[in-house]
Amino acid sequence: MPRYARGFDLDLAAAHLSRRDRKLGRWIERIGPLPQAGWRKPFDTVDVLARAILYQQLSGKAAATIVGRVEQASGSRRLTPSAIDALDDERLRACGVSGNKARALRDLAARAGQGEVPTQKELAFLHHDEIIERLTAVRGIGRWTVEMLLMFRLGRPDLLPVDDLGVRKGAQLLDRLEEMPRPKELAARGERWGPYRTLAGLYLWRICDAVQADATEAAQAKPKPKVKRSQD
């Protein structure tokens, strides 16, 4: 059984992408090297997924407040199955957790207890397609959530989240399209970026940021029209 490495050589990947795609290469040169992701940090799969559930459809500040309340109520900084099981529905509701999210947390804890949620060590021996299949079986966990775990926690090199709006917008800007490409179109477009589609996706996000920053700078630099005062 092969063991999949956590992370990959970003310089090697950037050089590969620049050779395979000149348009993307120009953006890579403009944006520059990306910082090394936190691929070496240990994590607990259940904790990561539980926090993802709690953060869904909320602003970062509101979600962080609810997570803090859950941590305090459970007496644990990690949202483990035992920490989740320690809180009944009433206490979860008092923390601001909706009924749907509470049911998702229950399902996550139950599946973890049955050995259906791979640990960090077990994930190292699973192909990313199998990880997606197994973790999306958990209530409330979608493909995008698992893709983010694969990219930012495990450092898998060849993931392109084609449903992500930021990635699709970046691809639109890259190719100067009138509309964002559909997920299937983006998947086909991304074939040339393999086996480093993860880094391509990271740069597509950065392209969005760069274009937005340019637009903001241009708007601020634009001289304001002078207001003529009426003379009585």
Active site residues: 164
205 backbone φψ class: left, alpha, beta (φ>0; ψ -120 to 50): alpha
Which of 30, 36, 28 is closest to 9 using CA atoms? 36
Residue type (1 letter), 70: V
Side-chain-facing half-sphere of 101: CA atoms under 13 Å: 21
Give the span between the Cα atoms of 74 and 72, in whole angstroms.
6
CA 99, distance to chain mean position in Å, is: 24
* Residue 108 and residue 53 in contact, taking contact as beta carbons nearer than 8 Å: yes
Backbone angles phi, psi at 22, to 5 degrees: -65, -40
